[in-house]
């Protein structure tokens, strides 16, 4: 049993999703005795979304493990800067930007994304655009390993993100640069093609090398489709890797490990080419 005070886990969803998508992870964490809050991410702009999450963090007494999925990584990277209560970050198939990076530029850094043709813009009164994944394409693009009925519901309740939010660059220090962090990287499954960034070669005390970073073979809404993975020995080949992944523990285990102090700064990964931010 951990000697640390029980952390509150704050879960931040990404684009084209909503907080209820964390339900399987919430159930695991609550069963382990953690207080959990699945935050409603406004998806309006990186700065505004981060301020929204930061207000929530500042209202919580005691330690916090802050978790972001996809675009949510952009948000938690900023929201946790200077937040003394945040003891660990967990990036679930999420962006870990440096100063100047945006979700759009990181997505474009590696080939393979099929997201753009599936997006449907809705003009906003301020001249901006909300972006939705077309409902008839949502299952194949965003939730291919879920039953079609479940994907139809997710398409109906998806929260849109503004085009401006996807294009907004991270500004200044990012929390993962100083706060112990761990990553779950979605494996390549049709539209999901994660690649390691080689722009940060000197990650201190790397918990997982690029060959052993936690991966899960799921479509973009990883919290629902495969609640996670953990580090393991490097696979000998693709078949061994697939077998190892089929036995991977859930995302809640990675979050609990962060609570127990297992998270360490690791090499920067970006979900380049994944099905959605």
100, exposed or middle or buried, with CB in 10 Å at 0-12, 13-18, 19+? Answer: exposed
Say how many residues make up the chain.
Answer: 277
Cα(6)–Cα(119) distance, rounded to whole angstroms?
40
Which residues is 133 bridged to in the sheet?
119
Is the pLDDT confidence value at 220 over 90?
Answer: no
Domains of the chain (ranges; CATH) run 8-270 (3.40.50.1820)
Span 45-51, average pLDDT: 98
pLDDT digits (tens, 9 = 90+) for 132-183: 999 999 999 888 878 999 999 999 999 999 999 999 999 999 999 999 998 8
What contacts 198, CB < 8 A, 6 or more positions away?
none
Q: What is the pTM of this model?
A: 0.77
* pLDDT grade for 256, boundaries at 50, 70 and 90: confident
Is the pLDDT confidence value at 102 over 80?
Answer: yes
- The answer to whether the CB of 72 falls within 8 A of the CB of 271 is no
* pLDDT grade for 4, boundaries at 50, 70 and 90: low
pLDDT digits (tens, 9 = 90+) for 58-88: 999 999 999 999 999 999 999 999 999 999 9
Residue 250 has a pLDDT of 56
Is the pLDDT confidence value at 125 over 60?
Answer: yes
SS (H, E, C) 19-83: HHHHHHHHHHHHHCCCCEEEECCCCCCHHHHHHHHHHHHHCCCCCEEEEEECCHHHHHHHHCCCC
Most confident of 26-30, 85-89, 263-267: 85-89
């Amino acid at each position: 049993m951990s000697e640390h005070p029980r952390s509150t886990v704050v879960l931040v969803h990404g684009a084209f999703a909503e907080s209820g998508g964390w339900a399987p992870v919430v159930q695991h964490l609550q069963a382990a005795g953690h207080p959990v809050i699945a935050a409603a991410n406004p998806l309006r702009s990186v700065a505004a979304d981060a301020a929204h999450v930061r207000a929530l963090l500042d209202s919580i007494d005691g330690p916090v493990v802050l978790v972001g999925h996809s675009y949510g990584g952009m948000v938690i990277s900023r929201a946790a800067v200077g937040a003394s209560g945040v003891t660990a970050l967990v990036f679930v198939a999420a962006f870990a930007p440096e100063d100047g990076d945006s979700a759009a530029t990181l997505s474009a850094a590696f080939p393979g994304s099929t997201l753009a043709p599936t997006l449907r813009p809705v003009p906003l009164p301020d001249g901006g655009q909300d972006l939705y994944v077309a409902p008839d394409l949502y299952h194949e693009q965003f939730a291919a390993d879920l039953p079609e009925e479940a994907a139809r519901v997710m398409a109906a309740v998806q929260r849109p993100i503004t085009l401006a939010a996807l294009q907004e660059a991270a500004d200044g220090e990012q929390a993962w640069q100083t706060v112990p962090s761990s990553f779950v990287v979605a494996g390549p499954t049709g539209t999901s093609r994660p690649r390691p960034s080689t722009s940060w070669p000197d990650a201190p005390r790397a918990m997982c090398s690029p060959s052993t970073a936690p991966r899960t073979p799921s479509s973009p809404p990883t919290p629902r489709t495969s609640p996670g993975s953990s580090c393991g020995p490097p696979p000998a080949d693709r078949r061994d890797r697939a077998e190892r992944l089929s036995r991977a523990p859930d995302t809640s285990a990675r979050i609990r490990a962060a609570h127990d102090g297992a998270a360490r700064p690791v090499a920067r990964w970006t979900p380049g080419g994944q099905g959605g931010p």
